[in-house]
Structure 1
């Protein structure tokens, strides 16, 4: 069944990927009408999230943010499909790094780099960053249930010299690289909601106490990795800028969870500045006020 779904969907993804950008965004406008006005995909989740984190905003403003978010969501997913065939030159024009010199400076420390992301603007096209570093790039991700699509995503990443590794593989891969003297840059998407457990860290995100992922911080401290935040902003439709913001060169000098909180504050700043580019369809605040027994 997995393969059947794959062979049915793959041709459509490929056709989308070879569309000129002008036609791609015309298609995105049509998908937005279908997704928002007809299907209403996760509209209740998005509305509840926005009301929760912006209780003082009038309903008219929340509606504007919600519509703008869905338009961005459609753009982003079609841009992800476009990655299948996009050239390195085209990607470089559309995803620019503002301060490549910071990458060079961090590499000069001769330590692997852990790069924390938020689900904001475009994380998929951040694979262009590999052009600015000599370190081998790894992206930590959750394996897809469909093994054929999982392989497709891995192949797309690998053509830009970035390797995807599952959360279970991460420590083993990094330890192996360090033992061989191979320095790497490891990307973590760290702003979503972890499973509840007695050991989970509860921190504040958008003014609400929620459980938080701490894997990136713990890994940086354990293996003495430089830790940084990738700030991605949307300049205009189809164009993004990224900035490397170093959080800690010596992570062991920081208190437990301090680096996680620093990361969350940076994500918050971007959300407050332009909330329509955050990934509101996730149930990020679903565990608030819950107790773990």
Structure 2
């Protein structure tokens, strides 16, 4: 039954355009705001604590966050429509010179992004780098039927999509050929996957996987975020890269420095566009070992 429902939704989604997905996402976000009081409270309290703003302001921004994140969910339906024409007409690249540099470099590149803005559509933004092999690493949902549908929608020519538990060798193969890999680096993770770093004023578990692979492949690490603009267009930001080949110290020190680099980048964009981040998830749930036995905030 679920498989049939997913197929019906996918078929309907493929007929939508970007304006329709925006309207549907906004409506769905408003519905979720009303239907999920626990997540609503979590988002508001997190904004108050980590941004230092008033509760009324946090409530306003959190409601917008629900709409933005619902749009991201719906936008997976139109990812494959991010063709060269749409990139030319619907996306502004904040730094065209950096785009040209990344398109021309022979170095392996790792894009570090987060659950901010139109993160599902960033797979389409990678179309700006023609001729390069790309791989996108995603978290696998528990629902197998949903996983299969999402993999099919995310996959594009010259772009592979792989679950994070199976990512190491496929990512390294592509990076060693001068390709590109993309990771979401702002989700909570288990202690065995994490290094604990400051994030928005509180220690958070940060996934080491992207940093380990970047150091191993001697890759450039590029923070990248596809932000929604007020006029309905999108702005793709690619920040100054970190060259892991230039880092000094032992391997663990290089990995730590790389994880710190992309965590700071995510924080910068969250503070700049707080209404476009995924505040409703339990980002600070995993605590460092030294806090065992202490009361949880």
State TM-score, norm by structure 1. 0.85
Q: How does 1:274-289 map to 2 (within 5 A)?
A: 274-288=273-287
RMSD: 2.7
> Residues of 1 paired with 2:145 and 2:94: CA distance?
35
Is the partner of 2:241 in helix, strand or coil? strand
Contact 1:100/1:132, CA 8 A, preserved across alignment: no
Contact 1:143/1:166, CA 8 A, preserved across alignment: yes
The C-alpha deviation readout for 1:260-290, integer Å capped at 9, x for no partner, is 2121222112222221101112100113466
The Cα of 1:217 is off from its aligned counterpart by 1.5
2:160 to 159, 163, 177: 163
Runs (5+) with no aligned partner, structure 2 = 293-297
The Cα of 1:169 is off from its aligned counterpart by 2.9
1:183 to 172, 178, 183: 178
The Cα of 1:145 is off from its aligned counterpart by 2.5
Runs (5+) with no aligned partner, structure 1 = none
The Cα of 1:206 is off from its aligned counterpart by 0.2
Q: How does 1:22-171 map to 2 (within 5 A)?
A: 22-40=19-37, 42-54=39-51, 56-83=52-79, 89-90=85-86, 92-106=88-102, 108-133=104-129, 134-171=131-168
2:197 to 184, 192, 203: 203
The C-alpha deviation readout for 1:246-265, integer Å capped at 9, x for no partner, is 33224451543122212122
The Cα of 1:88 is off from its aligned counterpart by 5.4
Contact 2:117/2:228, CA 8 A, preserved across alignment: yes
Give the direction of change, closer, same or farther, for the CA distance of 1:42–1:215 in structure 2 (3 Å limit): same
Greater helix share, 1 or 2?
2
Instruction: Report how many aligned residue pairs link the two structures.
Output: 286
Q: How does 1:262-281 map to 2 (within 5 A)?
A: 262-281=261-280
